[in-house]
Amino acid sequence: MNDFFELVVGATASGCIYGLVALSYLLITRPTGIINFAVGEWAMMAAFAGVVMLNDWNWPYPVGMAIMVVMMFALGWLTERLTVRPLVEKGAPPLAPILSLLGMLVVFRESISIGFGPDPQPVPAAFGFGRLELGWLAGSYQSFFTIALTLTVFAAAWFFFERTLHGKSFEAVAIDRRAAAWMGIHLGRVTAISFAMGAVVAGVAGVLAAPNVSAHYLMGMPLAIQGFTALVIGGVGRVEGALLGGLILAFVEQMTVRYAPVPPGLAMGVPLLLLILFLLVRPKGLLTAREGRT
Amino acid sequence: MRRSWPWWAALVLLSALAFGLGSYQNDVYRKLLLWITLALGYNFLFGIAGQVAFSHFSFYGLGAYSVVIGITYLGWPLPLALLASMVFCVAVAWAVAYPSTRLEGFYLALATLAFAQLFIVVLNEGGQITGGTGGLANYRLPDVGGYRIQGPAYTVVIVALMLFTFAVLWRLDRSHFGRACRAARDNPEAAAAMGVDVRRTRILAYTITSTLAGLAGMVYAFVDNTVNPSIFGLENVFLLLFMIIIGGIGRAAGAVVGAVLLFLLPFVLSPWIGHHHALVFGWVMVLVVLFQPKGLMGLWDQAQHWGRKQSPQPAVQGPTHG
């Protein structure tokens, strides 16, 4: 039974990371309709920022985290400015930004591979590699920290969308771009901020995931795939959907690895099957968007 | 085909080239031809039918693996193995296309991406049948009619494959089906109103191009005489995507130009940048999408346009390309 509860904590922590990546997709795709496969590479780049600041330079964790957030905000902003905005302004087909972002994905990954080499690099955990027991629930410090930080991020995202005027303007753009523009909402700014915030959230996911998997230039693609699986499960309509999808994915994944009588390699296929299943049966996800209020 | 002589001339010329090359150059030449074959098929699927699919290399792998498994593990004669692989590719392609073409837009990309990843998982975990992560080796092309096809003779097979793929897609592109594909890509509702069965068109386009990729895979299986999971992963799909976009999306000539360029560039660039040519490709891809969405073929059009402007005839005023 203890073993089971330990699994619950571990799965919740991985689910939180998937949920953050899904949130990163969602922040971008909601107002713009763009699926940005490079979110995994953003997470990877943030993990390498963690390697440099937290491991090589030994800066305190909160300082490193704060600088990482600023850097990712700038990176997301620049990515939108340089590779998405010109296409939108030209009236290019909706596929064009997705293709240029795929190009950036390769650029990001290869730049890191040149800069840091192909070997995995360590990223320290927030509170070291200790173990915490809360009654029956037991897990590493990092697991609990991941869960707490993810809940904070999601609470902030929820507050932003539900309680602030800026958040409402995002929602308005998501519901109807043209109408939103007529209401005086600056579409360019909304898009830029959605990319910048998406990059920050992806960066947080990367730094949280890195202590367990080590920073590696190829770590982005698996995260990107798990993230959008979580997004498809939860649905692109609601912020909570991303977290719910991430948790479902992680639990299915870990329960199969632990309890199902299949080799661990095949268990890696389970999330993919789950993704295909959801795409076929319920492509809109579990939580659907609220109807526009009249 | 009414005028088939250009195809035969191309077959003779491209085949003759193989006999003039050394064994290393022949190897490079074969792979170049296979990339062109794949790029042509992917161009039809992505550029003409407008389906964002990441599964093209999975079918290439499916063809390669199934024919090898047919002749080794199952011990079938080559014609039976080829036929069975073909049927298998059609069946899998249809099984993927039938449900996933219902999905709009990027969900198709996600579904095919999941399929591509799942294929790699199956290859890695297939145990004795797929040879796991190491793949399959130690087999060779069975003799055909008592004759062993190897060296430049096998290159001729690949030339024929490439031209066959080209011819099939060329004909399709110019047929009613090709126009239906373009219509379904540009405006599905209007296409449906004009009597195009959009769903059926999409399923057919996916199945045909994926099967052609499978056919190329069957031929590829005997190029290196080894198949392993790493060849058929996502990396190469990205490269394929870059090829047709940099070359000029939706045009067969663009696919050929892109494939030749991106396949040969690493050989040219390696003295300067080693194995980091992917970084160059990524930047070129971004720049092409931003500044020259019609790719290198668009540049070619502009050059021709410019050439006409220089000539004494009065230039036509109008929007330029790009």
CA–CA gap between residue A23 and residue A227 (Å, rounded):
8
Collect all residues of chain B within an 8 Å Cβ-Cβ radius of residue A245: none
The strand pair at A131-134 and A137-140 is best described as antiparallel
Could you tell me the residue ranges of all domains in chain A? 2-281
End-to-end, the C-alpha distance of chain A in Å comes to 50
* Dihedral, CA of residue B198, residue B117, residue A255 and residue A243, to nearest 10: -60
Contacts of B280 (CB under 8 A, 6+ apart): B265, B269, B273
Are residues B86 and B153 in contact, defined by beta-carbon separation less than 8 angstroms?
no
Specify the CATH class of A2-281 in words: mainly alpha
Say if A35 is an interface residue toward chain B (CB within 8 Å).
Answer: yes
Do B276 and A110 lie within an 8 Å CB cutoff? Answer: yes
In the chain, the amino acid numbered B55 is S
CA–CA gap between residue B191 and residue B183 (Å, rounded):
5
For residue A239, give both structure tokens. 């912020």
pLDDT value, residue B18: 86
Do A105 and B281 lie within an 8 Å CB cutoff? Answer: no
CA–CA gap between residue B200 and residue B180 (Å, rounded):
10
Is B118 strand, coil or helix? helix
For residue B303, give both structure tokens. 């050059």
Question: Per-residue pLDDT tens for B36-47?
Answer: 999 999 999 999
Say if A218 is an interface residue toward chain B (CB within 8 Å).
Answer: no
pLDDT value, residue B319: 45
Is B147 strand, coil or helix? strand
Interface test mutation site (partner A, options B110, B113, B122, max chain A beta carbons within 10 A): B110
Residue B249: what are its φ and ψ, rounded to 5°? Answer: -70, 140
Collect all residues of chain B within an 8 Å Cβ-Cβ radius of residue A218: none
Residue A86: what are its φ and ψ, rounded to 5°? Answer: -60, -35
Q: What pTM was computed for the model?
A: 0.89
> A63 CA to chain B: closest CA distance, Å?
31
pLDDT value, residue B316: 45
Cα B43 to its chain centre, rounded Å, is: 7
Question: Per-residue pLDDT tens for B154-186?
Answer: 999 999 999 999 999 999 999 999 999 999 888
Residue A131: what are its φ and ψ, rounded to 5°? Answer: -130, 135
* Dihedral, CA of residue B286, residue B287, residue B288 and residue B293, to nearest 10: 90
Question: Per-residue pLDDT tens for A151-202?
Answer: 999 999 999 888 888 888 888 887 787 888 888 888 888 899 999 999 999 9
Is the model's pLDDT at B317 over the cut of 80?
no
Is B146 strand, coil or helix? coil
Do A114 and B113 lie within an 8 Å CB cutoff? Answer: no
In the chain, the amino acid numbered B119 is F
pLDDT value, residue A21: 96
Q: Which DSSP string do the residues of chain A spell out, in sequence order?
A: -HHHHHHHHHHHHHHHHHHHHHHHHHHHHHHH----TTHHHHHHHHHHHHIIIIIIS---HHHHHHHHHHHHHHHHHHHIIIIIHHHHHHT--THHHHHHHHHHHHHHHHHHHHHH-SS-B----BTBS-EEEETTEEEEHHHHHHHHHHHHHHHHHHHHHHH-HHHHHHHHHHH-HHHHHHTT--HHHHHHHHHHHHHHHHHHHHHHHHHHH-B-TTSHHHHHHHHHHHHHHH-TT-HHHHHHHHHHHHHHHHHHHHHSSS-HHHHTHHHHHHHHHHHHH-TT-SSPPPPPP-
Across B258-269, average pLDDT? 91
Cα A79 to its chain centre, rounded Å, is: 16
Do B242 and A103 lie within an 8 Å CB cutoff? Answer: yes
Say if A87 is an interface residue toward chain B (CB within 8 Å).
Answer: yes
Question: Per-residue pLDDT tens for B131-153?
Answer: 888 888 888 888 877 788 888 88
CA–CA gap between residue B43 and residue B50 (Å, rounded):
9
pLDDT value, residue B105: 66
CA–CA gap between residue B195 and residue B155 (Å, rounded):
43
For residue A91, give both structure tokens. 């009236």
Predicted ipTM of the assembly? 0.87
> B102 CA to chain A: closest CA distance, Å?
8
> A125 CA to chain B: closest CA distance, Å?
30
Is B72 strand, coil or helix? coil
The pLDDT-based confidence of A261 (bands split at 50, 70, 90) is confident
CA–CA gap between residue B42 and residue B252 (Å, rounded):
10
Q: What percent of chain B has pLDDT over 90?
A: 51
Question: Per-residue pLDDT tens for A105-158?
Answer: 999 999 999 999 888 888 888 777 777 777 777 788 888 999 999 999 999 999
Could you tell me the residue ranges of all domains in chain B? 5-232, 239-307
